[in-house]
Amino acid sequence: MSRSTLEQWRMFRAVVEHGGFAQAAEAIHKSQSSINHAVHKLQSQLDLQLLEVVGRKAQLTDAGELMLRRAGQLIDQAEQLETIAASLSQGDEAELRVAVDEIYSQHCLAEALAQLSTEFPNTRVELVESVLSGGPERLLQGEVDLLVAGSVPPGFLGEPLMDVEFIAVSHPEHALHAVKRPLNLQDLASERQIVVRDSATGQRVDSGWLGAEQRWTVSHVATSIAMIKRGMGFAWLPVTRISDDLAGGSLQELPLERGSRRKASLFMTYADSDKAGPATCRLGELLVAQTKTSN
């Protein structure tokens, strides 16, 4: 069991920071005798001289300098614990679990989470980046508090968040761009299509597959983008993730007869809006605000 107390270490640090027992007493509103007694008892308990008085000023010994550094860490951690406890006592969540479909704007998500971390620094965030029905499945299983996905699970109420446009693209030097006419279904079917796998573990949904002879399936939108930029196939990709690539010319829209552009809606759904904590509600507000700003 520890022989020293946190309060003793606080008083010891105060003496050093303020240059003496009298100054420390005034700064932390304690009597000089209580501070003197606490520090001397600390040294006695440790059998270690931490301070030496030179003239009228208390100075650190070499050992005291080392112990002060460690004590500072101890005191800071204790203060953090007290801050966390105060936050939790006010109803703030210890952890926030959120699932966000990968087609949602990464910039909007990052900005919202950055602001949340400032306002709720003691709330841990578990972020699940999902695809298609993976997010709704997690909500139904009670694994997330907030969901951004392309569908609202049965039994829940979701609110529209944004529409995401998908564009059929490939590398500018892909063979499909060499066809000097609008592309039809047969043209696409003879080339490799990159499809992003539904992240659900139960019943999965195939979205956008045309029955191409060479279907490659990947787990993340970022992987699909990287493959397309290498000229490995074509895909419908969300503008939220490829706007810079389109502007920079590393991806180019395919000239289809029809259907080169599609739209999908994203919805935001709370697991239980009545029981949602302040951090969960605030993240929802931030996501809505960031989405409006980006449109």
Could you tell me the CATH number of the domain that includes residue 50?
1.10.10.10
257 — pLDDT class (breaks 50, 70, 90): very high
| Contact criterion met (CB below 8 Å) for 273 and 147 | no
Structural domain ending residue among the three candidates 37, 59, 89: 89
- Summarize the confidence of residues 53-68 as an average pLDDT: 81
Tell whether 142 and 283 lie within a shared domain: yes
Our count of domains for the chain comes to 3
Q: Is 202 within a domain?
A: yes
Read off the pLDDT of residues 146-163 as tens digits, 9 standing for 90 and up: 999 999 999 999 999 999
Question: Of residues 89 and 147, which shows the higher confidence score?
Answer: 147
The whole-chain average pLDDT of the chain stands at: 88
Tell whether 197 and 230 lie within a shared domain: yes
Q: Is 1 within a domain?
A: no
The CATH number covering residue 276 comes to 3.40.190.10
Q: Which residue range forms the structural domain that includes residue 280?
A: 95-161+266-294
Return the structure tokens found at 56. Answer: 């009228």
Tell whether 231 and 154 lie within a shared domain: no
For residues 176-207, b (16+ Cβ closer than 10 Å) or e, as one string? bbeeeeebeeebbeebbbbbbbbbbeeeeeeb
DSSP letter string, 185-237: HHHHHTSEEEEEPP--SSS----S----SEEEEES-HHHHHHHHHTTS-EEEE
Sequence-ordered list of residues with C-beta below 8 angstroms from that of 67, at least 6 positions apart, any chain: 46, 48, 50
| Residue found under tokens 């564009």 | 167
Tell whether 258 and 289 lie within a shared domain: no
The CATH number covering residue 168 comes to 3.40.190.290
